[in-house]
Amino acid sequence: MNPPESDTGSDVRIVRTTSTYDCGGRCPIKLHVRGNQILRVEGDDAPEPHQLRTCLRCRAYKQYVHHPERFLYPQKRVGKRGEGKFERISWDEAYDIFIRELNRIKETYGNEAILLATGGAYLASLHNGGLAASRLLNQYGGYVTHYGNISSEGAVWASLTQYGSVMVGHSREDMMNTRLIILWGWDPARMISGTNTMYHLIRARENGARIIAIDPRYHDTAATLAHEWIPIYPGTDTAVMVAMANVMIKENLHDRQFLDTYTTGFDAFADYVLGKEDGVDKTPAWAAEISGMDAAVIEGLAREYATTKPAALMDCQGPARSAMGEQYNRCASTLCAMTGNVGRSGGSAGGGLMGIPVGHMFRMSAIPPGKNPFELDGPNVKGTLDIRLRVKKRIHINTLWDAILEGRDGGYPSDVKMMWSMCNNYVNQIGNSNKADRALKQLEFIAVSELFPTATARYADLIFPVTSAAERNDFTRPWPSGPYFTVVNQAINPLGECKSDLEIASELAERLGIKGFNPHSEEEWLKILFENNPEYTTHIDDYEAFRKKGVHRVDLPEPIVAFRDQIADPENNPFPTPSGRIEIYSRRAADLNNPACPPIPKYLPTAEDRFDSLAAQYPLQLITPHPRNRVHSELYLVPWLKETEEHRVWINTRDAKARRIEDRDEVLVYNDRGTVSLPAFLTERIMPGVVAIFEGSWYHPDEKGVDRGACANTLTRDDYSGGGACVMNTSLVEIQKA
Ligand SMILES: Nc1nc2c(c(=O)[nH]1)N[C@H]1C(S)=C(S)[C@@H](COP(=O)(O)OP(=O)(O)OC[C@H]3O[C@@H](n4cnc5c(=O)[nH]c(N)nc54)[C@H](O)[C@@H]3O)O[C@H]1N2
Ligand SMILES: Nc1nc2c(c(=O)[nH]1)N[C@H]1C(S)=C(S)[C@@H](COP(=O)(O)OP(=O)(O)OC[C@H]3O[C@@H](n4cnc5c(=O)[nH]c(N)nc54)[C@H](O)[C@@H]3O)O[C@H]1N2
Ligand SMILES: [Mo]
C-alpha cells in the first residue's frame, strides 16, 4: 500500500489539486504521481500570509485514495442483508439489476416508494452524486427524499430567523481587530472550520486578544490558545446566555442605542430575562443551577463581554445539534446585538454558521416545500444544471428510519420500498443506528454508491464503485472561511472499474431512455459551470491559470464583516427580515405556534437533559463531537490517521473511579437505544457528568447486538428540535466495565 517514496524521477508528475472532504477546509495539495500511483502529498507552498496550511487528513490523501479496501468493481450481495458479503459483477449486470428493481418498484408501488438518500460528502460542483441522482430520478418521475440539514439546521434556522441570512461570518483576518474571543462550543484546532482558522486565532492571541473557551471539554483549541476554560453542562448554554443578558440589563451594560436602531423585539426578550413574563428572574444563580457554571463566573463573563470592545462571541454548530439547538445560536446573536458587536470589525454576529460571501460553499438546508417560512430564494449557483426537484415527499433527515419502518401507517408520507444512497453513511451518521439496522433489513432493494465498505454499504444489495476526487476534475470551495476557490485536478485514472456518480447516473439515464441527460464532456461542463457562476467570473480572470494552479486566493481590500452595510447605513440597507431589522422577536416564529420554537430565544428543558427522570438510570450526558483524524466516518480505514488517535470514550477521572474504571479499560456505554464497547480515556479534560465519543467510528454490532465499532449514533436519538436540528448531543447514558 505504501509505494516507494522516491519522487525524483523524471517520470514523476506534480498535480496541484485539493481534497473534497466535508470538513469545511480546502487544503491545496501537491500530489507527486508516477503512472497511476500517488507517491507523496506535499502541502501548499505559497508564502505567508497566503499559505493555506495542509491538515493531517489531506496529508494522508494517498492512503485514502489507494486504500486496499476500496470498492474497485460493482458488487452484488451474496450473504444476508447487512452481513457485508459481496461478489464482483460486471457493470452491465449492475445496471441491469438496478433498472430491473427500479422499474419493478415503480410499477408495483409508484415513485413514492423510491427513497433517495444523498449527503454532503463530496462537496464539489460537477460530480456531486446527490445532484446527479436527483436529476435522474426527477426525470424518472420523482422520488422521496429528506429535508433538514443534518449538520447545521439549528444554526440555519437561527440565522434565518434573526437576520434573514446565513452569511453571518467575518473573514478570519478580522480576528486581528478583536480584543476578546469567546469560543462558545467551538474547537477549530480539531474541526478547523476552514483552513487557517487556527493561524488567524494564533495571530489574534499574539496581538493581545483574550480567548475564553466555553465547552464541556478542555478541547485542543482551549489547550493551545485559551486564557480560560469554562466547563458547562451540554444543552445549557442558552441559560447562561440569558443570565448574561440579565446582568447586562440590570447593570445597564447593554448598548441601548444599537438595539433601538437595528433590532426589533428586545423588550419582549428583556421581559423574559427579567422574569416579567413568567415570574422567574433569570439571574446568574438561576443559570448556575442549570449549567454547572458558577454564578460569579457568569456575572464576570457578562461584564467582560459587555465592556470589552470589540469582542467576538463565536458560537458554532455542535451545541446546536441538540434538542433545543437553535435557541443557543439565536441567543448568541442576541448577545452580539446587545453588545453592539454586529456588523463591526472585530465583533461578530453569532448565528453559528460563519459563512462569508466569497469562496464560500454553504449548503442550504433542504427545506420542506411550502413548510418553512424562512425559505430562501437564492440564485442557483450550479449554473445551468437544472436541479429543480420533482420531489414527491420529504422526510426529516433524522426520522428516516421511522419513516421506513412505519410508513403511511405511522403518519409518514409514503411507504418506502427501496433506497439509493450516495455521499453519505447514514446508518452511521444519523441518530439511532440500531433502528437503521431494523429499517434497512425491511426494504426490498438497496443500492449504495460508495468508495468504501461503510456501515451503510454493508446493507446494500448492489454496490456502485465510485471514483475518488483524485480520479476526476471538478471545482470546489471551502465552506466557512474562504476567501479562495479551489480546483480538483485529476491525478490518476479511475482505479479498477470505478466511475463518478455523474457517469453512473448518465449511463443509467441512457439505459432508461432518458434523453439529453448529460450532453457535455467533463471539460465542457467545467467551463460552463465556471462561466455561469458570477462568483468565479468576478474574482478570476484566467480560467486556464486557475485550473493549473489549483487555487485562486482572493485578496480582500478589507476583512469581510457580516452586515457591515446594514449597520453603516441602515436606511438604505435593511436586514433581509420581514421587519428589515435584526429580529430578537420573530413574528414568523410566533406564527409557527410551536412552544419548542418560541419567537424570542429561550432556555427550554428537554427530554434527556440532566433533569429528566431518566437520569436516575442513565446519569451521564453524552456528547459526540467531530473527530480530528476523520471527516465524520470518512477516512475511518486510513492507517496513518488511525494511529493519530485511538477511539475511546472520554470520561472524567471522578466518574470513572466511581465505576471502578481504569484508563484503557474496555467499557460498555449504553442506554435504551443500544450498547457500544470501547476503551475508556480517563481525563480531567472533560467535566464530571459528561462523556464524549467522537462521531464517525463505523457501526459494527456483534451477534449480541453490542456495537464493537462504537459508533456514537448507536446511542443518540433519531429526533429533531423545534427548528429542525438533529438531536445528537442530547443523550443520557451509563457506563460500566465490560
Ligand atoms: N476533522 C474534522 N473536521 C470537521 C469535520 C469532521 O468530521 N472532522 N466535520 C465538519 C462538519 S460537516 C461540521 S458541521 C463541522 C462541525 O463543527 P462543530 O459543530 O463546531 O463541531 P462539534 O465537534 O460537533 O462541536 C464543537 C464543540 O462543541 C462542544 N459541545 C458539544 N455540546 C456542547 C454544548 O452543549 N455546549 C457547549 N458549550 N459545547 C458543546 C464539543 O465538545 C466540541 O468541542 O466540522 C467540520 N470539520
Ligand atoms: N453523533 C453525531 N452524528 C453526527 C454528527 C455529530 O456531531 N454527532 N454530525 C453530523 C454532521 S455535521 C454531518 S455533516 C453528518 C455527515 O454525515 P455523512 O455525510 O453521512 O458522513 P460521512 O461519514 O462523511 O459519509 C460520507 C460517505 O460518502 C462517501 N463519499 C465520498 N465522496 C463520495 C462521492 O463522490 N460519491 C459517493 N457516492 N460517495 C462518496 C464516503 O466514502 C463516505 O462513506 O454527520 C452527522 N452525524
Ligand atoms: Mo456537518
Query: Residue 660 sits in a domain of what CATH number?
Result: 2.40.40.20
Domain holding 274, by residue range, is 154-362+561-592
Report how far ligand 1's centroid is from the alpha carbon of 202 (Å).
Answer: 20
Residue 610 near residue 322, CB atoms below 8 Å: no
- What's CA 734's distance to the chain center, in Å? 27
In a domain, 555, yes or no: no
Q: How far apart are CA 540 and CA 259, in angstroms?
A: 39
Higher-confidence residue of 392 and 371: namely 392
Residues 255 and 334 in one domain: yes
Residues 217 and 320 in one domain: yes
Residues 203 and 340 in one domain: yes
Pocket of ligand 1, candidates 191, 196, 429: which has the most ligand atoms within 8 Å of its Cβ, to mutate? 191
Report how far ligand 1's centroid is from the alpha carbon of 450 (Å).
Answer: 25
Residues 198 and 311 in one domain: yes
- What percent of the chain lies above the pLDDT cut of 90? 80
In a domain, 707, yes or no: yes
Q: How far apart are CA 154 and CA 323, in angstroms?
A: 10
Report how far ligand 1's centroid is from the alpha carbon of 514 (Å).
Answer: 42
**For 635-681, how does the pLDDT look when each residue is reduced to its tens digit (9 = 90+)?**
999 999 999 999 999 999 999 999 999 999 999 999 999 999 999 99
For cell 429533531, what's the residue? 720
For cell 436541479, what's the residue? 387
Closest ligand to C-alpha of residue 627 is 1
Compute φ and ψ for 678, nearest 5 degrees: -165, 165
Give the CATH number of the domain where residue 161 resides.
3.40.228.10
Residues 714 and 667 in one domain: yes
Residue 685 near residue 217, CB atoms below 8 Å: yes
Q: Does the Cβ of 187 fall within 6 Å of ligand 2?
A: no
**For 27-37, how does the pLDDT look when each residue is reduced to its tens digit (9 = 90+)?**
999 999 999 99
Report how far ligand 2's centroid is from the alpha carbon of 633 (Å).
Answer: 6
Residues 249 and 342 in one domain: yes
**CA torsion through residues 171, 173, 178, 182, sign:** positive
pLDDT at 390: 47
SS3 530: helix
In a domain, 396, yes or no: no
The burial of 260, by beta-carbon neighbours within 10 Å (0-12 exposed, 13-18 middle, 19 or more buried), is given as exposed
In a domain, 276, yes or no: yes
Residue with CA at minimum distance from ligand 2 atom 29: 423
176 DSSP 8-state letter: G
Q: Does the Cβ of 219 fall within 6 Å of ligand 1?
A: yes
pLDDT at 8: 67
- What percent of the chain lies above the pLDDT cut of 70? 94
Beta bridge partners of 29: 17
**CA torsion through residues 283, 284, 287, 289, sign:** negative
In a domain, 351, yes or no: yes
Q: Does the Cβ of 185 fall within 6 Å of ligand 1?
A: yes
Pocket of ligand 2, candidates 633, 638, 649, 673: which has the most ligand atoms within 8 Å of its Cβ, to mutate? 633
Report how far ligand 3's centroid is from the alpha carbon of 697 (Å).
Answer: 15
Residues 271 and 181 in one domain: yes
Q: Does the Cβ of 610 fall within 6 Å of ligand 1?
A: no
Q: Does the Cβ of 626 fall within 6 Å of ligand 2?
A: yes
Residue with CA at minimum distance from ligand 1 atom 29: 185
In a domain, 720, yes or no: yes
pLDDT mean over 316-338? 97
Q: Does the Cβ of 24 fall within 6 Å of ligand 1?
A: yes
Q: Band the pLDDT of 381: cuts 50, 70, 90.
A: very low
Residue with CA at minimum distance from ligand 2 atom 37: 423
Reading the block at residue 442, the C-alpha cell is: 425491511
Bond preceding residue 368 cis, omega within 30 of 0: no
**For 121-171, how does the pLDDT look when each residue is reduced to its tens digit (9 = 90+)?**
887 888 888 888 988 998 898 889 888 888 988 998 899 899 988 889 999
Domain count, the chain: 2
Residues 6+ apart with CB under 8 A from 477: 26, 123, 359, 360, 361, 484, 485, 486
In a domain, 457, yes or no: no
Highest mean pLDDT among 17-26, 473-482, 551-560: 551-560
Cα atoms in the Cβ-side hemisphere of radius 13 Å centred on 312: 33
pLDDT at 124: 82
Report how far ligand 1's centroid is from the alpha carbon of 318 (Å).
Answer: 4
Mean pLDDT, all residues of the chain: 92
Q: Does the Cβ of 500 fall within 6 Å of ligand 1?
A: no
Residues 585 and 716 in one domain: no
Q: Does the Cβ of 321 fall within 6 Å of ligand 2?
A: yes
Q: Does the Cβ of 604 fall within 6 Å of ligand 2?
A: no
Residues 163 and 275 in one domain: yes
Closest ligand to C-alpha of residue 19 is 2
Residue with CA at minimum distance from ligand 2 atom 43: 634
Residues 576 and 682 in one domain: no
Residues 319 and 240 in one domain: yes
Residue with CA at minimum distance from ligand 1 atom 44: 187
Report how far ligand 3's centroid is from the alpha carbon of 150 (Å).
Answer: 7
pLDDT at 3: 47
**For 184-242, how does the pLDDT look when each residue is reduced to its tens digit (9 = 90+)?**
999 999 998 888 999 999 999 999 999 999 999 999 999 999 999 999 999 999 999 99
Residues 570 and 687 in one domain: no
In a domain, 303, yes or no: yes
